[in-house]
Structure 1
Amino acid sequence: MAQGTKPMLVGAGRRDEALVSGRPWRARGSGLLAAVAAAFTLLQLLLVRPSLGLGWDEVVYVSQVGTDAPAAFFSAPRARGVPLLVWPIASWSSSTVLLRVYLAVLSGLALYLALRAWRHLFPARVLAAAGALFATLWVTLFYGPQAMPNLWVAFGALLCVGCFVRARLDRLDDRAAWGVLVGAALMSWMRPTDAVWVTLPLLVLIVAARHWRLGAALATGLAAGGIQWIIEAYVSYGGLRERLNEASRIQGDLGWNLAVDDQLRSLVGNTLCRPCDVATPHVSVYAWWFVVPLLAAYGLAVAVRAGRTARTLIPLACATTAAFPYLFLIGYAAPRFLLPAYALLAIPVAYAAFNLVTAPNGRWRPAVTAVAGLALVGHLAVQYTVLDRTVDRTTASRVEWARSAAELHRLGVRPPCLLTGHEAIPVAYYTGCHSGSMGGHNGNITRAEILETARRLPVGALTAPGRTPPGHARDWKLHRLDGMDVHIAPAPLAGGTA
C-alpha cells in the first residue's frame, strides 16, 4: 500500500482504481476523514463557543419546536428541515449550550459521512484535504453549531453528488443509489429550491444518458424532502406557485441581479448584507475567492488528462448551478448562501492542490510545497481573524437582546405577552412573548388585533432608538432599553385572560 499510494495523487488512471477501494483504504482513509471531522467539531466548540445566543433566523426555526416562547412567524422561503433537526434537543431543553454542542457533533458526523461518499473516487488524502479546506472557512465554522439550513444543504450536496458519480461509474453500486436519495432528501428537506439548483446538472445527465434508476432515486429523494413544503404551500399559501411568488417577493423579487460584488463584500464577516453598502474588504480577505475557481479548473484539466473527467466535472457543474441564483438572481448577499458551492468545489480544488505539490512520480515538489504552505497559513490566519470578529459582533447583539428581555420582564412584560416592531422576533423569543408585525416580510397581525390583545395581555411596541412609534402606540409609556426603545401599553384590564 505504501509504495502504491504516491501515484494516486496525480490521477494516474487505472492505478487509482486499485488504490481508492478495498480494505487498505477503509482502514487508513476512514481514520483520516474521522480526524478531519473531529477537528471540525472541536474547532466549532473552541472558536464559535457554545454559549453564543440564538440569532434571528435561529429563533424562527427553534421556536417552532421549542418550549421557551411561542412559534415565530414562518415565512414562505423557509422549510421545516431545521426545526426537525433541532427537535431532539429543543423539544425538551432550553439550553442553548446543549443545542450548540449537539449541532457541532452532528455537523462533524455529517462531514465525515459526506466525504466518505467519495471514497471510491478520490484518494483518502485528497478527500481529507477537501474536508479540511471546507471546514476551515470561517463561514463553515461559524454555521456548524447553528440552527441554520445552508450548511446542511452543503452536506446533502456532497453526499448526493458523490454517490451519483459512483453510481454512474458502477451501476451495481446499490449503496450509491441510496446515497443519492438520502442526499437529495436532506437538501430538499432543508431548502427545496436550493436542492433543485444543486441537482440541475444531475437531472440533465440522467435524461441525456438515460440513467433511469438514478433518476428514480434522485426524484424520490427530492420529493421525500420537499413534500411537506409543497403540501404547506397549498394549505397556507394558496398553492405552490403562490408560495414561490411570495418567497420571491420576500427575497427582493428574484430576477437578474448581479450580486457577485455583494457576496465579495460580505466575506469580511457580514452575515447578512442587505443592503450591501459596506466597503470592499482588504484583498487578503477575498483573495481565496478568486484562487478557488482557478484551482478547480486546473483540477478538471488534470482529471481530463487522466481519464477521470466525470468525477471532477460533475461536482464543478453542480457547484456552479448551486451558486448561480445567489450570484446573479438575488439583490443581497449572505456568505452562508454559497456553502453548498464551496463544499462541492473543495473536491476538485484539493485534487488540483495535490497535483501541484507532487511530481508525476509521486515525490513532493519542495518549492511549490513551500509556497503553497505559506499561502495556506496566511489563508487560515485571515479566516480565523474574520471568524473571531464575527463571533464577537454577533455575541454582542445577542447579549443586547437578552438584556432587553430582562428589562422587559422588570417592566412587567412577561409571558403571555406580545411584542411588535423593531427586532420583535428575537427580542420576543428571549422574553417569552408572541411576536407580531403589521407589514413587511413577517407581516402577521393587524392594528386592531394588537389593540385587542393589549386589553388582555402585556403588549410592547419596539422601535430603534429615537424613532417614532406606530400611531396606535404613541400614547403608550416610553422606556429605553439596551439598543432600542419600547412603548408599553397600559396595564391590561383586571381579569383578562390569554
Structure 2
Amino acid sequence: MGGSAHAALGTADREHERPASARPAPAGRPLAAVAVAFTLAQLQLVRPGMGLGWDETVYVSQVSRHAPAAFFSAPRARGVSLLVAPVAAWSSSTALLRTYLAVLSGLALFLALRAWRGLFPVRVLALAGGLFASLWVTLFYGPQAMPNLWVAVAALTAVACFLRLGADRADRAGRADRAALWGLAGSALLMAWMRPVDAVWASLPLLAVGLRRGHRRALLVLTAGLAAGAVQWVAEAYTRYGGLARRLADGAAIQGGLDWHLAFADQLRGLGGRTLCRPCAGALPHPLLTFWWFALPPLAVLAVVLAVRARRPAATALPLACAATAAFPYLFLLDYAAPRFLLPAYALLAVPVADALTRLAAARRPVPRPVLAVLVCAGLAVYLLVQAAMVLRVAGTTTAARRSWARTAAELHRHGVRPPCLVTGHEAIPVGFAAGCASAATTGPNANTTVAGILRTARRIPVATLVPAGAAPPGPLVRIALLTACPASPSLRTRSLYPDRFSKSL
C-alpha cells in the first residue's frame, strides 16, 4: 500500500497540480469556501431554533444544568455529551448550541478535506466536500447533537492520514509526516469517542492493510487512538452495564438484534424524509429523490478503474473499502433504518466519486467532452435542488413536531408540575427535559425504575405520566401518581395529563 499511496501522491501532483511543497497558500481557499458554505447552509436551512430531538436530549442532559440526566442506554457513548459541554454546561439556549455545532462541523469538514491535499487535486476535494456537505442528511445533522456526522468526518480524516503515512514509508528519505501521525491518532480517537462499534467497522480495512503491509507506525497510532477513544466506554461497561460482553449484547438487543437482514429498501425509504424508519414500511420514495443513491455504486466502480489506469489504486480503493465496512452493519444486519447511519459511508465515498466525476467531465472519448461536462453538471444541479428541497421539508416537519414537546412542557408548568419533578410515559425523555424534570420508564429500552419507585417519588415531588392523545391512561400509575403529585393543586387530582390536551377520565 505504501508504494501505491506514494504513486498516488506523485501521479496526482504531476497530472493536476504542483507538488504540495510548491503549492501556494491560496490553494486551500476552495476547501475553506466549502466549509463556510456548509456552515451557513445549516444555519439558513435547518435554523438554530429547532428544538432538541429525543436522542439529542439524552446526550445534552448528561452535561446540562437545565434538567437531570436522562437514562443513558447501553449503545450510547459519551462523545457527543463532551462535545456539547462547552455550551450546554452553562446555557440552555438551543439556538446557541446549534450555532456552535454548525461552526464546529464546518471546521471539522475543512480539516478532513485538507488532510487529503496532495493525494487528490484541490478541485476534486472541493467537489467532494460540496457533494457530502450538500446532502440533506449531512445538512440536517450538522448542527445537531448526534454522533454520526462526527464519525464520518473522523473516518474521512483517518483514511487520508493513513495514506499519507504510507507515502512517507515509501519515501526513501523516510521523512515522517507529523501532521499525519497526529491526524490519524486524533481522528481514530474521535471515531471511538463518538461510536466505538462504528469506529471498529470503519477502521477494519485500515487495520487489515496495516497488518498485511507491515505499516507498524500507522497501525500502532491507529490502534492507540481507537483504544484511547473507547477506554471510557469499556470502563463504563464494567461499572454500569455488567461487563463489555453484556453491554454489547444489551446494545444489540435495543437495536432489535443483529441478524442477517437486507436493509437497502429500508434505507431508501429513509431517504424520502424519514429520520427514523422503524418499523420500515410503506412505498419507496420517488426516484428523483434517490437517483443519486443508485449512482454511487457505478461511480465507485468507475473511480477504481480510473485509479488503476492512473497507477494510484490505494488512494481510491482504501476509502471505498472503509465505506463498505462502515455501511455493512446498517445494510445487512439491522431490521430498521435511519439516513444518518450511512453518513460515514457517504463521506468516504465522496472523494473517489468526485474524482470519477471530474475525470468523466474531462474525458474526450467516446462522447465529446462538452457533452459529458454538460451531463455531469446537469446531474449535479438536479442533485443540489433535490437535497435543498429535502432538508427544508425535513427540518420543517421536525421543528413542528418538537414544538409540541415544548407546548406539553408549558402545560405541565401551568398545572403545577415544576422542577424538581418527574415525567414518565409517552415521550417522557424530551418532554421531561423541556420541562426541566427528570424522566423515567418502567419498560422498554430506557427502563430505569419501577412503578413502586415512581409512586414513592410522587410522595415527594410532582409527577406526571404522559399518554398519547386519545389513548387510555395506564390506570393505577396515572391515578395514584397524579393524585399525590401536587397536594396543593386540586385541579390535578381529577385530570389525566396528555401531551396536548387534558381529559377528565379519572
1:60-95 CA distances to partner (integer Å, 9 max, x unpaired)?
A: 000000111110000000000000000000011111
C-alpha displacement at 1:297, in angstroms?
1.2
Equivalent AA in structure 2 for residue 424 of structure 1: A
Comparing 85-94 and 374-383, the one that deviates more: 374-383
The 5-angstrom pairing of residues 89-488 of structure 1 reads 89-171=87-169, 172-359=176-363, 365-475=369-479, 476=482, 477-479=494-496, 481-483=498-500
Q: Distance in 1 between matches of 2:314 and 2:58?
A: 40
Tell me if structure 1 keeps the 8 A contact 2:42–2:139. Answer: yes
Tell me if structure 1 keeps the 8 A contact 2:428–2:439. Answer: yes
Q: Distance in 1 between matches of 2:243 and 2:35?
A: 41
Q: Distance in 2 between matches of 1:89 and 1:327?
A: 35
Secondary structure at 2:460's aligned position in 1? Answer: coil
Q: Distance in 2 between matches of 1:311 and 1:404?
A: 52
Q: 1:485 to 1:246 in 2, by over 3 A?
A: farther
Q: Distance in 1 between matches of 2:458 and 2:475?
A: 15
C-alpha displacement at 1:28, in angstroms?
3.1
Are 1:15 and 2:14 matched, yes or no? Answer: yes
Comparing 167-176 and 124-133, the one that deviates more: 167-176
1:322-375 CA distances to partner (integer Å, 9 max, x unpaired)?
A: 0000000111100000000000000000000010011379xx921111111111
Tell me if structure 1 keeps the 8 A contact 2:12–2:121. Answer: no
**Residue in 1 aligned with 2:78?**
80
Tell me if structure 2 keeps the 8 A contact 1:20–1:120. Answer: yes
Q: 1:14 to 1:149 in 2, by over 3 A?
A: closer
**Residue in 2 aligned with 1:40?**
38
Tell me if structure 2 keeps the 8 A contact 1:127–1:350. Answer: yes
Q: Distance in 2 between matches of 1:416 and 1:14?
A: 63
C-alpha displacement at 1:22, in angstroms?
1.8
Secondary structure at 2:449's aligned position in 1? Answer: coil
- 1:59 counterpart (57, 63, 77): 57
Q: What is the TM-score when the length of structure 1 is the normalising length?
A: 0.93
Q: 1:286 to 1:479 in 2, by over 3 A?
A: same
Q: Distance in 2 between matches of 1:455 and 1:189?
A: 40
Comparing 192-201 and 268-277, the one that deviates more: 268-277
Tell me if structure 2 keeps the 8 A contact 1:32–1:128. Answer: yes
C-alpha displacement at 1:468, in angstroms?
2.1
Q: 1:360 to 1:468 in 2, by over 3 A?
A: same
Tell me if structure 2 keeps the 8 A contact 1:20–1:119. Answer: no
C-alpha displacement at 1:300, in angstroms?
1.1
Q: Distance in 2 between matches of 1:28 and 1:456?
A: 64
C-alpha displacement at 1:473, in angstroms?
2.8
Secondary structure at 2:445's aligned position in 1? Answer: helix
Equivalent AA in structure 2 for residue 332 of structure 1: Y
**Residue in 2 aligned with 1:30?**
28
Equivalent AA in structure 1 for residue 28 of structure 2: S
Tell me if structure 1 keeps the 8 A contact 2:464–2:478. Answer: no
Q: Distance in 1 between matches of 2:311 and 2:86?
A: 46
1:73-126 CA distances to partner (integer Å, 9 max, x unpaired)?
A: 000000000000000000111111111111000000000000011102000000
C-alpha displacement at 1:166, in angstroms?
1.0
**Residue in 2 aligned with 1:50?**
48
1:37-76 CA distances to partner (integer Å, 9 max, x unpaired)?
A: 0000000011000111111100000000011111000000
Q: Distance in 2 between matches of 1:17 and 1:280?
A: 41
Equivalent AA in structure 1 for residue 137 of structure 2: V
Q: Distance in 2 between matches of 1:143 and 1:345?
A: 18
Equivalent AA in structure 1 for residue 40 of structure 2: L
C-alpha displacement at 1:16, in angstroms?
3.9
Tell me if structure 1 keeps the 8 A contact 2:205–2:321. Answer: yes
Q: Distance in 1 between matches of 2:417 and 2:503?
A: 11
C-alpha displacement at 1:259, in angstroms?
1.0
Q: Distance in 2 between matches of 1:434 and 1:409?
A: 14
Tell me if structure 2 keeps the 8 A contact 1:255–1:329. Answer: yes
1:173-213 CA distances to partner (integer Å, 9 max, x unpaired)?
A: 23212211111100000000000000001111111111111
C-alpha displacement at 1:485, in angstroms?
6.0
Q: Distance in 2 between matches of 1:260 and 1:180?
A: 31
Tell me if structure 2 keeps the 8 A contact 1:462–1:485. Answer: no
Q: Distance in 1 between matches of 2:456 and 2:415?
A: 20
Q: 1:142 to 1:484 in 2, by over 3 A?
A: farther
C-alpha displacement at 1:481, in angstroms?
4.4
Equivalent AA in structure 2 for residue 245 of structure 1: A
C-alpha displacement at 1:385, in angstroms?
1.3
Q: Distance in 2 between matches of 1:469 and 1:434?
A: 20
Percent identity for Structure 1 against Structure 2: 58
Q: Distance in 1 between matches of 2:429 and 2:38?
A: 31
Tell me if structure 1 keeps the 8 A contact 2:64–2:85. Answer: yes
Q: Note the aligned Cα RMSD (angstroms).
A: 2.0
C-alpha displacement at 1:18, in angstroms?
6.3
Q: Distance in 2 between matches of 1:459 and 1:247?
A: 29
C-alpha displacement at 1:20, in angstroms?
4.5
Secondary structure at 1:460's aligned position in 2? Answer: strand
Secondary structure at 1:19's aligned position in 2? Answer: coil
Secondary structure at 1:461's aligned position in 2? Answer: strand
Secondary structure at 2:495's aligned position in 1? Answer: strand
The total of aligned residue pairs comes to: 478
**Residue in 1 aligned with 2:489?**
none
Equivalent AA in structure 2 for residue 128 of structure 1: A
1:288-344 CA distances to partner (integer Å, 9 max, x unpaired)?
A: 001012112101110001110000000000000000000001111000000000000
